[in-house]
Structure 1
Amino acid sequence: MLGFMDWSVVVMGCVLVLLSAGLFWWQRARAKKRASPGQVMRHSSAWPPLLMGFGMMIAKVPHLLGASFTVVDIADSVSLMLAVTVALLFLLNARRRAAAEPCDTEQD
C-alpha cells in the first residue's frame, strides 16, 4: 500500500508538469496578439507547477527504484532547492503585485 502512495506522488508530479506545459502553450498562444513571447515566458504563472512537479518526481523516483543512498541524497537536495525556488517565485510575484497596486489613501 505504501508503494502505491509513493507512486501516486510521482503521478501527481507528472500531472503538474503536463499542466504547466499546457499553461506555457496557452500563454504563448494568447501572447501572439499582445506582447512578445519572451516577455510572457519571463512572467509566466506556469513556472511554479513545473518546478513543483519536477521536485515531487525527483524526491520519490530514486527511492522507489532502489537507488543508492548517495543518489537519493542528491535527489532530495535538488528537490529542496526546487521548493525554495518556488517559494522565492511566490514572494517575488507578491512583491511585484503589491508594487503594481495603486496606493489607496483617502484623506478626509
Structure 2
Amino acid sequence: MIEGDMMLRFMDWSVVAMGCVLVLGSLGSRWRERAKISNGDNPDPGMHYLWAWLPLLMGLGMIGAKAPGLLHAPHPVVEIIDALNFVLAVTVLIFTVRSGRRFFRPRGTT
C-alpha cells in the first residue's frame, strides 16, 4: 500500500514540475520574442500573444491544481485556488477560441 501511495505522490509532483516547466518556457519565449524585436524582426502579434500567455496560464493551472493538496494546505485555501483555476481555465478557453477564429477566418480571394 505504501508503494502505491509513493507512486501517486510522485505522479502528482511530476504534474507540478511540468507546470513549472511550462511557466519557465513561457517566460523564456517572451524573453526570446523581446530579443527578436530589439534586433528589428517583426513577429506576428496574434501568435506572439497566444504563445506567450497560453503556456503560462496552463502551467499556473497545473501548479494550482496539485500543489495545495501536496503541501497540505487548509481547505479554504484549496477552495480559493480551485476557484482561481476555474477562472484560468475560462481565460485559456477564451484565448483559444479567439485564436481559432483568427486562424480559421476566411481569407479574401483576389
Class of the TM-score when normalised by the shorter of the 2 chains = 0.7 to 0.9
CA distance in 2, matches of 1:70, 1:76: 10
Matched, 1:92 2:80: no
CA distance in 2, matches of 1:4, 1:58: 16
**What pairs up with 1:48-87 in 2 under 5 angstroms?**
48-87=54-93
State the identity %. 48
Do the aligned partners of 1:13 and 1:52 also contact (CA within 8 Å) in 2?
yes
Q: Specify the SS of the correspondent of 1:43.
A: helix
Do the aligned partners of 2:50 and 2:95 also contact (CA within 8 Å) in 1?
no
TM-score normalised by L of structure 1: 0.81
Listed as ranges, the gaps of 5+ residues in structure 2 are 1-6
* Misfit runs of 4+, over 3 Å: none
Equivalent residues, number: 102
- Which amino acid letter does the alignment assign opposite residue 2 of structure 1? L
Root-mean-square deviation over aligned CA pairs: 2.4
Q: 1:12-60 deviations in whole A, cap 9, x for unaligned?
A: 000000110111011111122145xxx68x7351200000101111111
**What pairs up with 1:7-18 in 2 under 5 angstroms?**
7-18=13-24
CA distance in 2, matches of 1:56, 1:80: 11
Quote the residue 2:107 is aligned against.
102
Listed as ranges, the gaps of 5+ residues in structure 1 are none
Do the aligned partners of 2:26 and 2:52 also contact (CA within 8 Å) in 1?
yes
